[in-house]
C-alpha cells in the first residue's frame, strides 16, 4: 500500500489516495535521518574511495527534509551541489538491537530520497555535517510503500529528463537487513526515522533551474526543482 501525506484546507492528511490538485508533503517526520555512505562499490570508486568493510554512517538533520515538488536551494557557500538518489527505509516501530532476520517487523515501508550533497564542502570539512546538512538537502517521497521486496529494485536519477544514475539495490554492499541490525545496535530508531541506504554511481551537479527526479522501482518518482 502507498501512504501519502498531503495538504487539504490547511490540514495535513494521510491516505492511500490523493485528491486531484492536493499538494503532497514529505511522508515522514523523522527524529533523525541516518545515512550510509559508499554502500555501492561503483560509487565509492567514482569519488576515489575504497569500498568500506563496515557501514560508513552519518546523520542529516530533520530540518533538511523537503516535500515532493519542493525547491532544493543551493547555498551560496558551495560551488558543487550534487544529487544522490537513494532508497529510504522508514522505521515503523521503536527499534533497539534488532536482529537482521527480524528487521522487517520494525520497518513501515520505503520511499525515494535524494541525499543532496555540497561535494566541495564535504571534502573540505572531512566531517559530513555541513556538506549534507543544509535546509532542503533531503527531499523524500512521493509516498511510503509498505509492501515491497527491496532486494533488487532499480534506482534511477534523471536531471532534466536525462538519466544520470541507474543502479539496483542488489548492488548494495550492506543490505537493508544488515543496516537495521547495525544501526539499531548503536542508536534507538524511532517511528518515522529514516535510513538512506546509499547511492549508486553517476552522481553529478545540480544547477539552478534543473528538475531532478529520483525513481525507485515500485515506489514512484520524487521530483524537485533546483534554485
Tell me how many degrees the CA angle 130-136-137 measures, rounded to the nearest 5: 50
Which one, 59 or 221, has the nearer CB to Zn ion? 59
Identify whether 15 is preceded by a cis peptide bond (ω within 30 of 0).
no
Which one, 107 or 116, has the nearer CB to Zn ion? 116
Residue range at the interface with Zn ion (CB under 5 A); choices 23-31, 115-123, 151-159, 218-226: 115-123
Which one, 115 or 181, has the nearer CB to Zn ion? 115
Closest to 147 in 3D by CA, of 218, 45, 77: 218
Which one, 84 or 145, has the nearer CB to Zn ion? 84
Radius of gyration of the chain (CA): 16
Which one, 14 or 125, has the nearer CB to Zn ion? 125
Residue range at the interface with Zn ion (CB under 5 A); choices 3-11, 23-31, 53-61, 194-202: 194-202
Compute the least distance from the CB of residue 14 to Zn ion, in Å.
27
Number of residues near Zn ion (by CB under 5 A): 3
Report the distance separating Cα 179 and Cα 210, nearest Å: 32
* Interaction between residue 115 and Zn ion (CB under 5 A): yes
| Residue 53, all three cell numbers | 568493510
Report the distance separating Cα 24 and Cα 17, nearest Å: 11
Assign 163 to helix, strand or coil. Answer: strand
Which one, 15 or 178, has the nearer CB to Zn ion? 178
Report the distance separating Cα 151 and Cα 169, nearest Å: 6
Q: Strand pairing of 204-205 and 211-216?
A: unpaired
Compute the least distance from the CB of residue 43 to Zn ion, in Å.
8
Residue nearest to Zn ion (CB): 115
* Interaction between residue 84 and Zn ion (CB under 5 A): yes
Compute the least distance from the CB of residue 212 to Zn ion, in Å.
14
| Residue 33, all three cell numbers | 535521518
Q: H or E stretch including 182?
A: helix 176-184
Which one, 4 or 78, has the nearer CB to Zn ion? 78
Place of cell 535524494: 114
Residues 134-163 as x/- pattern, contact with Zn ion by CB under 5 A: ------------------------------
Residue range at the interface with Zn ion (CB under 5 A); choices 9-17, 18-26, 110-118, 135-143: 110-118
Q: Within 13 Å and on the Cβ side, how many CA atoms surround 69? A: 8
* Interaction between residue 165 and Zn ion (CB under 5 A): no
Chain contacts with Zn ion (rule: CB under 5 A):
84, 115, 199
Amino acid at each position: 500500500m502507498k501512504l501519502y501525506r498531503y495538504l487539504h484546507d490547511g490540514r495535513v492528511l494521510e491516505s492511500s489516495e490523493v485528491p486531484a490538485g492536493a499538494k503532497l508533503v514529505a511522508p515522514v517526520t523523522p527524529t533523525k535521518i541516518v545515512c550510509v555512505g559508499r554502500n555501492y562499490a561503483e560509487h565509492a570508486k567514482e569519488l576515489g574511495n575504497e569500498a568500506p568493510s563496515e557501514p560508513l554512517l552519518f546523520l542529516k538533520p530533520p530540518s533538511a527534509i523537503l516535500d515532493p515538488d519542493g525547491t532544493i536551494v543551493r547555498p551560496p557557500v558551495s560551488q558543487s551541489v550534487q544529487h544522490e538518489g537513494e532508497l529510504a527505509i522508514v522505521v515503523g516501530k521503536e527499534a533497539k538491537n534488532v536482529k537482521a532476520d527480524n528487521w522487517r517487523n520494525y520497518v513501515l515501508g520505503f520511499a525515494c530520497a535524494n541525499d543532496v550533497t555540497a561535494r566541495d564542502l564535504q571534502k573540505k570539512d572531512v566531517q559530513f555535517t555541513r556538506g549534507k546538512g543544509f535546509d532542503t538537502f533531503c527531499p523524500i517521497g512521493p509516498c511510503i510503500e509498505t509492501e515491497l521486496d527491496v532486494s533488487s529494485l532499480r534506482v534511477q536519477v534523471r536531471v532534466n529528463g536525462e538519466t544520470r544514475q541507474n543502479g539496483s539495490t542488489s548492488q548494495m554492499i550492506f543490505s537493508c537487513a544488515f543496516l537495521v541490525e547495525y544501526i539499531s545496535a548503536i542508536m534507538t530508531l524511532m517511528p518515522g526515522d529514516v535510513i538512506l541506504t546509499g547511492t549508486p554511481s553517476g552522481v553529478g551537479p545540480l544547477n539552478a533551474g534543473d528538475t531532478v527526479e529520483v525513481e525507485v522501482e515500485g515506489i514512484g518518482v520524487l521530483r524537485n526543482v533546483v534554485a
